[in-house]
Each structure stands twice: as structure tokens, then as C-alpha cells.
Structure 1
Amino acid sequence: MNTPIRATLALALIGAGALAQAQTPGSGAVLSERNVSLALANQIAAATVAACSAGGYNVTATVVDRAGHVRAMQRADNAGPHTLEASRLKAYTSASARNTTLAMMEASQKNPAAANLKDIPGYLLLGGGVPVRAGNEVIGAVGVGGAPGGHLDEQCAMAALEQVKAALQ
């Protein structure tokens, strides 16, 4: 085979390979992802603080997007200074793992294979982090710190998510 034909054949094969790769899902294609908006994050944070305040708890609520970046944070009057970072870490942990931090904490205590979860940088395995879901897709998370128990923090977050469920359709 002469050189121009080889070059043409080689280019055709390369082009066919590139076309096949471009048509394969996940191979350089642009992704469309849903995410928590600033308005929704503010609604969730406010509803969470209000739910805890109704129970007599001064908390901070942090809402993060699907990547764990802070979108909104609200701190109740008289909430302790530690609640800011605790709520952020719980939200980050929940968004990252796409699970509640209470479930993760319980799993790490009962399952030796999950015990190292606590060693992941930025993870806080205390109850109070809850994923924000639009259908089955996690679009963010809310973290709560300051109630006298992680289960109570989680209850406040769940109450807030119930209030905004129509926006999550």
C-alpha cells in the first residue's frame, strides 16, 4: 500500500474512533445536573432554624449544593459558635455520601469496614446532615448543629424539607 493511501486509511480509522468515543455516554459529553438554587437554599435554612426554634433549640443550619459548597447558612440567636462549622461539615458529609449523617454514624459504629469513614477529611459523623433530593437525585444537603442530640438536628432538617417538598419535584 502506498503512503498516501496509508495516511488516508489511518486518518479514517482515527476519525471513526473519535466519532465512536464522542457518541459514548460519559466520554467528554457535557453534563446537565440539577442543583439547589440560592432561593431554595435560603428557604431550607430558614425553615430548619424555625423548626428547631419551635422546639426550643438554638441552631445553625447550612445548606450546600450537590458538590458540597455552601449556598446558605442561618444561625439562630444564641446558637453556639461551634454550630457554624458543625452544621457545614454535616451538610458536606451528607451531600458527599448522599446519605444522612445519622445513618453513616450508626453504620460506622456497627460495621468495622465503615469505621474509617470518620477519617475522611471534612467528614463529621454526627446526626443532623440530610440530603436534599429532587426525586431520586441528590441536589444538595442540609446540616444542622446545636440541638441537644443529632437525632433532634435531623428532625429539624426533615421538617424543613417537608415544608419545601413542592419545590423539590
Structure 2
Amino acid sequence: MSKQLVILLAALAAAPAGAALPRHPDLDLEAANRLAARAIASCRAEGRAIAAAVVDRGGNLVALQRDDGVGPHNTEASRRKAYTALSTRKPTLQLARDAQAVPDTRNLATLPELLLLGGGVPLLVEKQVVGAIGVAGGGGPLNDHACAQRAIGAVPGLDQPTP
């Protein structure tokens, strides 16, 4: 046996037996659809029609639902809000406020996929980001944010958002 092979085998034998890749909770299609539907129902109860998008931990679109009469720009805005909340791990309403108050944060608005407009909220399970929801079309960033938070509250297993 070559010296390099012996060293490699020794290194593998010395590795902890229990060493494995970490396990992460995942967001499934059922939960994503439930989140989007709940956001739509929540806003509809207030007379508002919205689009809701849900992305997974990799930023992949899992669910997109649009209420009747919602403009096409809102479907893209909801996706971008979800993506922004996921990639920054912060609610987009907070990011938008930070961008107004902190000059260094304003540069985030120049990144093509980010949308610093309230309505995107990260989805957490045991403080681990598993995805995000984005809501658009509800009559302003505060309304969009509130609908997203109410949707999260309706899905068991997700950490509840702080107001």
C-alpha cells in the first residue's frame, strides 16, 4: 500500500463514528400552500386582495397564489419580498426602515433581486430559517406585513413572528 493511502485510511478511521451532516427542518408543499392560502384569506377578510409567495431555504419558489383581480406586478413583488426576507433573514418591513435610517443599508436596494418593501417575513422552525413568505397588493407595506404574520400564526410548527 502506498504511504498516502495508509494516511488516508488512518484519517478516516480516526473520524468520529457519529459524524454526519446536520439535519434541518424543511418547508413542504402542503405547508407552503397553507401559508399562501391563509395570507389571502386574512387579507380578504379586511377587503384586500393580494398575491402570496412562499420560498424554501434555497430561495426556490414553492407556492404562489393570487387572489382575483390582483395585478401581475404583485405576483413578482410577493416573490421578491419572500426572497429578500429569506436571503437577509429579516422582515422586509424592518429592512425598508433600516434603509431609510442607516446610510450603509441603502445599498441593499441596488441589488437586483432584493425588494425593500414590507410584506416579506422569514419562516423559522426552532430559530432555523426554513423559507419565507412574501405578500403584495394589500394596500401598503404595513398591511402586507400583517397578512404575512397572520398566515405564519396559522401554521403549526413554525416559530411565531414577533410584532
Measured against the shorter chain, the TM-score band is 0.7 to 0.9
Find the counterpart in structure 2 of residue 148 from structure 1: 139
Q: TM-score, normalised by structure 1?
A: 0.84
CA-to-partner distance for each residue in 1:81-128, whole Å, 9 max, x for gaps?
A: 111000000001111111101111111221112111112221101000
Find the counterpart in structure 2 of residue 126 from structure 1: 117
Q: Which has the higher helix share?
A: 1
Tell me by how many angstroms 1:16 deviates.
Answer: 4.2
Find the counterpart in structure 2 of residue 45 from structure 1: 36
> Residue 162 of structure 1: which of 144, 153, 157 is its match?
153
Where in structure 2 are there 5+ consecutive unaligned residues?
none
Amino acid at match of 1:84: T
Q: TM-score, normalised by structure 2?
A: 0.86
Q: How does 1:25-104 map onto structure 2 within 5 Å?
A: 30-104=21-95
- SS state of the match for residue 58, structure 2? coil
> Residue 107 of structure 1: which of 98, 101, 109 is its match?
98
Instruction: Determine the C-alpha separation between the residues in 2 that align with 1:70 and 1:14.
Output: 41
Amino acid at match of 1:118: A
Where in structure 1 are there 5+ consecutive unaligned residues?
none
RMSD between aligned residues:
2.2
Tell me by how many angstroms 1:148 deviates.
Answer: 1.4
> Residue 138 of structure 1: which of 106, 129, 148 is its match?
129
